Amino acid sequence: MILGIDLGTSMVKATAFDLAGRCLGSASRRTVMNHLGEGRVEQDYELLVGQVGEVVREVVAETGLPQVIGITGQSDGLWLVDETGHATGPAVSWLDDRGNPYLQGWIDSGAFEAVFRRNGNAIFPGSHAPLLAAMAAADPAALARAHTATYLKDAILQRLTGVRVTDASDTSLPFLDTTTRDYDPEIFRLLGLEAQRRLLAPVVPPRTYPMTAAGAALTGLPEGTPVHAGPFDLPACAIGGGVRDVGDGLIIVGTTLACEVLVDRVRTDGPPVGMTLCLPEEGRWIRAMPATVGTASLDWILGIIGAKASDVDRLLTQSRPGANGATALPYFSATGERAPFVDVNARGLLSGLNTSTTPADLVRAVCESVAYAARHCMEAAGLTGRLFVCGGGSNSALWSQMIADVLQIPLHISPRPEVGARGAAMTAMRAQGIAFDARAWTRPEGVIAPNPAMAAHYEAGFARYRDTLAAVRPLWHRP
């Protein structure tokens, strides 16, 4: 048995697979996000550690002991820990916006673009650099108490194995030279964060580490069980979702609408936007456009009308394409938008409403706007091959069909469940030297063909979406 752990933004999950890639069992716990007001979002790391122990014990009781464990999860945020990997204070989520003014300052000064020209990564407010800058200004004692400013999957690795390391996927943004896979001192200088360099763990190639007695006590597994951490969830989903050839892409319809394409070179020309994320394999990167407009935008409108995610397909049948004139821009995150453009002031919009507009129209308008954002992102990422889809939002058959119709590209349904945990398990097996059939592990469950009859309708809708975006962007920066 191979165990994959996925430390998501909303859920902590452990999934067991056999050597052929079949799911043997899964367990999950919902995470607790502490919304403190004024755009501040934190998490209790020690609570998450306990949840990891719970889901591992639950799965192992059903499936037996693993040969190796692979860990993936949410990236970014700021996870401050001491020498033993215990939290020195609340973790700052990647959804937190306290880094907004620092990012805007780097945009205004030119440092933001200068970093992109070095490594192909556009900084966003919830990433390490702005959060470190905000913490250094507001609470320098918190940084002084910490031994490491880490990422969640790496923090869990340290608790299980005692090892303080990170991988090239998480560190790609913002401090890494993505060609040499080591930290770039010039980026620290450009951002004025040289003093914070001491907090970052060393970047190491993929390998496994033996579980310690402390890890065994937490999980109920034997000491010495090999554990691997990385890549984080975006590259892990690409691996587990079937992205194999240069030009292939994946849409993750999750909290983040992550649109990504496999590339074989780092490009630093063009608009400074998106991420260039190192894969475990040398010479391969994911060109990612992780928009903040995924299921979080849909959940927001569902909350407004008093509906649930299970109601989405029913509501979509009650509103025709075009939502009876209602349209949306789905930029409802407090941190603004990060792909396929960067703007900390980006805000959502509902328009075309009248007294005949129904709750179903509002849901369809938001779903269509997210589909348009997916097309916008995939065009920016450079898709040329097959396109896969995964994530909780893809469980909606009608929303998935809408995305295929907007893009007019077949959507290959990535193997379910738990595509991220599947990618983490595959990477851990490679690091441990366990042979397996990657094609069998990632065989699509089906294909959603686009409806040619909808092409003209959604082409016009996408043009309106782009025109509306161009019109409102200047308004975001007016008092």
- What CATH number has the domain bearing residue 86? 3.30.420.40
C-beta separation of 163 from 157 below 8 A? yes
Looking at the structure, tell me whether residues 215 and 354 fall in a common domain.
Answer: no
User: In a structure prediction context, what are the per-residue pLDDT tens digits for the chain, which is 479 residues long?
Assistant: 999 999 998 899 999 999 999 999 999 999 999 999 988 999 999 999 999 999 999 999 999 999 999 999 999 999 999 999 999 999 999 989 999 999 999 999 999 999 999 999 999 989 999 999 999 999 999 999 999 999 999 999 999 999 999 999 999 999 999 999 999 999 999 999 999 999 999 999 999 999 999 999 999 999 999 999 989 999 999 999 999 999 999 999 988 899 999 999 999 999 999 999 999 999 999 999 999 888 989 999 999 999 999 999 999 999 999 999 999 999 998 888 989 998 989 999 999 999 999 999 999 999 999 999 999 999 999 999 999 999 989 999 999 999 999 999 999 999 988 899 999 999 999 999 999 999 999 999 999 999 999 999 999 999 999 999 999 999 999 98
- Asked whether residue 419 is assigned to any structural domain, the reply reads no
Looking at the structure, tell me whether residues 256 and 226 fall in a common domain.
Answer: no
- Asked whether residue 418 is assigned to any structural domain, the reply reads no
Looking at the structure, tell me whether residues 205 and 184 fall in a common domain.
Answer: yes
Looking at the structure, tell me whether residues 183 and 247 fall in a common domain.
Answer: no
Among candidate residues 33, 30, 24, 35, the one with its CA nearest the CA of residue 1: 24
Q: Measure CA of the first residue to CA of the last residue in the chain; give whole Å.
A: 57
Predicted pLDDT at 441: 97
- Asked whether residue 428 is assigned to any structural domain, the reply reads no
* CB-based contacts of 256, cutoff 8 Å, min separation 6: 290, 291, 292, 294, 296
Looking at the structure, tell me whether residues 137 and 185 fall in a common domain.
Answer: yes
Residue range of the domain that includes 67: 2-235
C-beta separation of 103 from 344 below 8 A? yes
Predicted pLDDT at 256: 86
Looking at the structure, tell me whether residues 207 and 131 fall in a common domain.
Answer: yes
* Other beta carbons less than 10 A from residue 71's beta carbon: 29
* CB-based contacts of 170, cutoff 8 Å, min separation 6: 75, 151, 153, 154, 230, 231, 232
Looking at the structure, tell me whether residues 70 and 154 fall in a common domain.
Answer: yes
Predicted pLDDT at 200: 98
Interaxial angle between packed helices 397-407 and 359-381, expressed in degrees from 0 to 180 and rounded to the nearest 10: 50
Predicted pLDDT at 358: 98
Predicted pLDDT at 226: 98
Looking at the structure, tell me whether residues 120 and 224 fall in a common domain.
Answer: yes
Among candidate residues 184, 215, 235, the one where a domain is terminated: 235
Cα radius of gyration (the chain): 21
Looking at the structure, tell me whether residues 379 and 286 fall in a common domain.
Answer: yes
CA 362 to chain centre: 26
Predicted pLDDT at 338: 86
Predicted pLDDT at 70: 98
* CB-based contacts of 61, cutoff 8 Å, min separation 6: none
b/e string for 464-477 if b means 16 or more Cβ within 10 A?
ebeebbeeeeeeee
Among candidate residues 275, 279, 278, the one with its CA nearest the CA of residue 288: 275
User: Using CA of residue 302, residue 234, residue 374, residue 124, what is the dihedral sign?
Assistant: positive
C-beta separation of 110 from 104 below 8 A? no
Predicted pLDDT at 293: 84
Structural domains in the chain (count): 2
